[in-house]
A and B are shown apart, each in its own frame.
Chain A
C-alpha cells in the first residue's frame, strides 16, 4: 500500500493509504475514543458500522464530522481529534446514549468492565442533561446460557457482527426502527427459540451489560450448603489457563493448584478434573475414528466436544448428522461416570450427587440441560459455572486467590494426561486423538507426541499426518464461520479429510464465551499466552497420551469393558437432533 502524508493534531505523519483515521491516530499516540468499533483476531472480524459516532473527528475541508473508525486517510488530510467542536459533539453524543441507559451501575454485572461507563467517566459528562423516554424491554432469560437486558443496549452492533460475520449463526440483527430499534433475533423471538448456539461471542464483545452469561452461582451455593448433597466439581482444561486473570494476574499463568485449593475452600466435597474425562473422550473418539477408518465408516469424522458446534450443525447441516463423532463432550462423560462408576465405588446414592462443571463456555450451560444427556439415570451434569462466575464466587467468599497454596485433585477422577490439557486449545483434540490413533494403528510408541503441524492460532488449518504408512488428512477450524466452510465441502462431497476438529470459539476453549473479559485489542496476544500455558502444562506431564492414563485403564477394566463397546455406548455416546432455523 502506498503511504500518504497527513497531519493529526499538528503532528505530521506518514501512514499506509488503507489506514483509517483511527489507525493513523494510534500510530501517533492518540487514542480516539470508540464504542461500537471492534477489531478481533488480527482484524479477521471487524465491526465498522460507525453507529455510535463517538469517534468523530474534524477533517479540514469536510462539511460534517468524520467517524474516525471508518474514514480512510487521504493524502494531505488535516485532522483534529479534540477540537472544541469535536469535544462538544462527543459529549452530547455520550449524554444522548446515557439518556437512554439505566443509571444503576451498582446493580450491573458489567460494572467495572463496561466501555460505556469507562468512557463516560473519562468525559465526566452530565448523564442527566437530556431527559425523556427510556427503552422498556423485558429482560430476556429464555435460554440457559445468555441473558439479554436490552435496556442497556447501546446499539453498537458488535454482537451482530460476531454472530453473523464471525460465527455465521445469523441470529442477531437490527430489529425495529427509530428509538425502538434494538439488536436481537427477528420478531423479538426469545433466544431459546432460535438457532443461537450460545457460543457467547456476543457476550464477549458487548461493551455494556446488555448481554451476559446466565448465572447459576446461587444454585451452586445452595447445593454446597445442602447437607444432603454430595457436591462434585470438575474443571475444564481451559479454566486453569485464565482464572488467574480474574484476580489481576498476568495472562498465560496456569493456576491449577490454586484453583483446586480455592474450590475446596468454597466447600465443594470433591474436586475432580474434566481432564480425566477428556482422556476418556479420546479413548472413545480415537477408537471410533480407527473403527471408521478400518471398516469403511463415514469420513471425515468430526469432533463433537463443543456444544455450540453441535447445535450449529443440528440447525445448519441437518443432512450431515451422521458425520460427527457420537462421543459426548468430556464434562458430560464425566457426569455420567460420576453418577454410575464413582457413585457405586463410593456407595453414594447418585440422586444425592450434584455435578458442577467449571467451564470456559456459556454453551455448556445449555448443553447440561439437554434432556438426552442423562444416561446415568439422572441429568449427567447439574450446573455449569463459567470461569468468570467462579472468579466472582471466590471473590465473594473472600478467598485470597493469589496467595493460595497449591492443591491436588482428588482421585480417581482427577488424574489426566497431557493429551487432556490440550483440549483447551484449537487443534488439541485432534492432536490428542492422533497421539492415541498413531500408536494403536502402528502398534508402536511414538518418538515424539508433539504434532506441531496441527497447532496455531489461524481459524482454518490443515495438515497431513503419516500413521503406519497411511496418509491421514486432518483439518482444524475454530470459529463457526470457518467451520461452515469445511462443512460445505463435506456436503458437496469434496472433503478429502479423515478427521476434522471444530471449536466454535476462535482459538478454542481458551477464548470461550465464559472466560475472563479481555480488551479486544489485546485479545490475540492473550490467546497466544493462554495457549502457551496449556502447551507447557502438557509438556510437563509424565503421561502425555490419553490411553496411557492408568485411571482410565482401570475404569475400562473395572466398569466399562471394551472401548467403544456396549456399556461405553450407553453412557458415553449420544445422538443428534435435526433442528429448525428461525
Chain B
C-alpha cells in the first residue's frame, strides 16, 4: 500500500476502489466470522465455500470473511449479495450447504431456503453503528472505504475547523452509548476548551456486562469505523494520541484492530501529517485484564497508566485531568461508530431519528429466555415490547414474558406490564433501571426474581474493586441477606433492611458501579415484592419439580441426559421421573424436543 500524501490522492484512491466495483460488480457471499460465528462453525463453512469457488473457477463470485449481522440464534449465518438484488440471509449453514450454495448461484439468481430476503429480518432495526457489520471484510480497508469510510476524515482535514466538527456532533444529539448517556459533543467541547497539551482520546472497548457484545461486534466487524472516529475526535479536541482500551478476552477484536491500524498507517490515515493536512494522530491498543470496573472511565485511565484499576472521585473529570493528569476524552465503541454516519449524513438526519431527548439508535444484546438471541439496533424510543417480541420473537416456551433486565448487572428488572415503555435513558431510569451499555436479559415465567437479584449481587460483589465502604461491604451484606432469604432463613424485616441498605449504597458509593449495583435488588423488590415475601414465608425458593406429561413418545433422550439416572421407562413408553433422586437440574426439560416435561 502506498501512503496517500494528500486529500486529492485519497479521493483518487477512493474513486478507484468504487470504480472497480462499478465496472466489474461481483456476487458476494458474506460468511459471518466474528467470534460467535466462528464458535458456531463458520470456519469450515467459509473453507468449503472458498474451495468450491476455487474449483468452479467462477470469477464473478467472491467469498468474504465478514463480521456479524447479529443473528446469533441462526449462526453460522451467510448472506448473499447478488448485484442489483436484495441481500438474502441464510441461517444454520453447514459446509455442505455452503458448497451447494456456490452451485446454486451458478445457475439461479438467488439461493434457496433463505431465513429472509431483503432486510425483512431486520425490518424493526435501523443499523447505524452496525451498518457495515457483516457486509464488509473487516480486514480490508478498501471495503470500508468503498462504503464511504475515511471520506469524512479527508473532508474535515481539508479545511473544516475543529469547532465545526464539534458543533455537528453536538447538534446531532448523540449521547454516550457506554451507559451514562452524556452528550458526546459537549464532552468534546470541554476537552477542546482544556488548555494544556497533550490531550488524549480513549476508546472504551472494555465491554464487561455479562451477555453484552455490541462493542465486540463493531470491533470485529467494522474496526475502521472506530479508528476514523477517533482520528476525527483527535482533530476536534486537539489530541494527537489515542488509546483503545480493549479487554484481553476479545482476541479476535484485538487482531482485527491491529490489522486495521496497520492498514491505516500504511495508507497514511494515521501517523504524521495525515493526508498532507499537517495534522498528526496515532493510537495504540491497551489490553484490559478483565476487571469489570475498568469500564468505569477513571478506573480505565488508571489501568492504562499501569496502576491498579480502581475509580477515583469525579470531579475532576477526565476532560480536565485524565491520563497522566492530562485532558482525556473517553468514548465508547458504539458512540464512536456513530460518528462517521453523522458526519456523512448530517446532524439533522441523526437528530431526527429516535426521540427528542435521545437521538439516534441503540444496539441491544438480546439474551435469556427469548427465541431470537442476538444483536439488534433500533431507534431510541422503540418500546421494550417491540424489541423483545417483534425482534426477539418472545419467550422460547411461548408463554408470556415475565421481566427484562436492562443495562447489565447493575441495571434493574423491568416487569412485563411496563414493556410498552419506549426505550430512553430517562424512561428506563424512572423504572429503576438503566440503559447501560445495552444488555437485555429476558426472563420467562419460571425465573425466580429473588434468585436473579442474588445472581447479580454475586457478580457485583466479585467485580467491586473494594475501594469504597458501601460497595465493598454493603454489596456483600446485600448478597448475604439474599442468600439467607433464598435458604429459607429470611425474616420479614429483611426487606426494609435490603431497601435501606440498597438506597444508602446508591447514595454514597464512589463510582458508577457502586451507585448502580443495588438496582437488581431494589427493582425486584419494587416490582416483584411478593416473590420475596413468599420466599420468606415458604422457607426459601423451592426447586422446580419436573414431571413427564402425555406428550412423551418414549424416546429415551431425557433419560440419557439425566446426570443421576432418575428417569425410567421403556422405549416408546411414557417415562417417569423418580422424584426422590431428582436433583432439579432441568437437563431433561432442555433435552426434550416434544414439550413432554412439565416443571412447576
Contact = CB atoms under 8 A, between A and B. Distances in A.
Contact of A67 (B308, B310, B313, B472): B313
B258 to A, nearest CB: 29
A133 B476 contact: yes
Interface in A28-61: 48-54, 56
Contact of A96 (B465, B466, B470, B515): B470
Q: Find the residue from B308, B472, B476, B508 having the highest chain A CB count within 10 A.
A: B508
Given A65-B507, A65-B508, A178 B477 contact: no
Contacts of B462: 177-178
B541 to A, nearest CB: 20
B467 interface: yes
A71 B314 CA distance: 8
B476 A88 contact: no
B504 A173 contact: no
Contact of A181 (B467, B470, B500): B467
Contact of B466 (A130, A132, A177): A177
A72 interface: yes
A70 B472 contact: no
A178 B465 contact: yes
Contact of A92 (B464, B465, B476, B504): B504
Contact of B508 (A56, A72, A99, A133): A56
Contacts of B576: none
B477 A52 contact: no
Given A99-B473, A133-B480, A174-B310, A53 B468 contact: yes
Q: Find the residue from B308, B467, B469, B515 having the highest chain A CB count within 10 A.
A: B469
Contact of A132 (B469, B477, B500): B477
Interface in A464-520: none
A93 interface: yes
B509 interface: yes
B506 interface: yes
A64 B308 CA distance: 26
Nearest to B501: A92
Contact of A177 (B313, B465, B473): B465
A173 B465 CA distance: 13
B507 A85 contact: yes
B310 A96 contact: no
A52 B476 contact: no
B319 to A, nearest CB: 16
Interface in A104-151: 130-133
A54 B504 CA distance: 12
Given A96-B474, A155-B467, A178 B308 contact: no
A181 B469 contact: no
B409 to A, nearest CB: 13
B463 interface: yes
Nearest to B315: A72
A176 B466 contact: yes
A322 B507 CA distance: 56
B469 A93 contact: yes
B461 interface: yes
Q: Find the residue from B472, B475, B500 having the highest chain A CB count within 10 A.
A: B472
**Majority DSSP secondary structure for residues of A touching B:** loop
- Chain B interface size, under 10 / 10 to 19 / 20 to 34 / 35 or more: 20 to 34
Interface in A166-191: 173-174, 176-182
Contacts of B504: 88-89, 92-93
Contacts, number: 108
A53 B464 contact: no
B510 interface: yes
A56 B504 CA distance: 11
Interface residues of A, number: 39
Contacts of A275: none
Given A99-B477, A174-B310, A155 B470 contact: no
Given A92-B504, A173-B308, A177-B463, A53 B469 contact: yes
Nearest to A100: B473
A433 interface: no
A97 interface: yes
Interface in A274-305: none
B507 A50 contact: no
A178 B468 contact: no
Q: Find the residue from B291, B313, B462, B515 having the highest chain A CB count within 10 A.
A: B313
Contacts of A130: 473, 477, 501
Contacts of A100: 473
Contacts of A67: 313, 510
Given A88-B504, A174-B310, A177-B291, A53 B470 contact: yes
Q: Find the residue from A48, A53, A85, A174 having the highest chain B CB count within 10 A.
A: A53
A69 to B, nearest CB: 9
Contacts of B476: 132-133, 178-179
B500 A177 contact: no
Contacts of A181: 464-467, 472
A50 B313 CA distance: 7
Given A132-B476, A177-B463, A89 B468 contact: no
B470 A178 contact: no
A51 B470 contact: no
B474 to A, nearest CB: 5
Contacts of B477: 96, 99, 130, 132
Given A179-B472, A179-B473, A49 B467 contact: yes
Contacts of B515: 64
A39 to B, nearest CB: 16
Contacts of B473: 96-97, 99-100, 130, 179
Interface string B457-497: 00001111111111011111100100000000000000000
Interface string A59-85: 000001101001110000000000001
A418 to B, nearest CB: 46
Nearest to A69: B313
A65 B515 CA distance: 11
A123 B469 CA distance: 17
A174 B466 contact: yes
A260 B462 CA distance: 56
Given A53-B509, A53-B510, A132-B480, A179 B461 contact: yes
B469 A96 contact: yes
Contacts of A50: 313, 468, 510
Nearest to A85: B507
Contacts of B464: 177-179, 181
Contacts of A54: 469
B470 A93 contact: yes
Q: Find the residue from A56, A64, A70, A93 having the highest chain B CB count within 10 A.
A: A93
A51 B508 contact: no
A132 B515 CA distance: 22
Contacts of A51: 467-469, 510
Given A72-B315, A173-B308, A174-B465, A53 B508 contact: yes
A177 B291 CA distance: 9
Closest 10 CB pairs of A and B: A181-B466, A96-B473, A132-B480, A178-B464, A92-B504, A179-B476, A130-B477, A70-B313, A53-B508, A50-B313
Given A65-B508, A89-B504, A154-B469, 17 more contacts: A48-B313, A51-B468, A53-B510, A64-B506, A70-B313, A92-B504, A93-B469, A96-B470, A99-B473, A131-B480, A174-B308, A174-B466, A177-B465, A178-B464, A178-B466, A179-B464, A179-B466
Interface of B: 291, 308, 310, 312-313, 315, 461-470, 472-477, 480, 500-501, 504, 506-510, 515
23 contacts: A49-B313, A51-B468, A51-B510, A53-B469, A53-B509, A54-B469, A65-B507, A85-B507, A89-B504, A92-B501, A92-B504, A93-B504, A96-B470, A99-B477, A130-B501, A131-B480, A132-B476, A132-B477, A132-B480, A173-B308, A178-B464, A178-B476, A181-B465
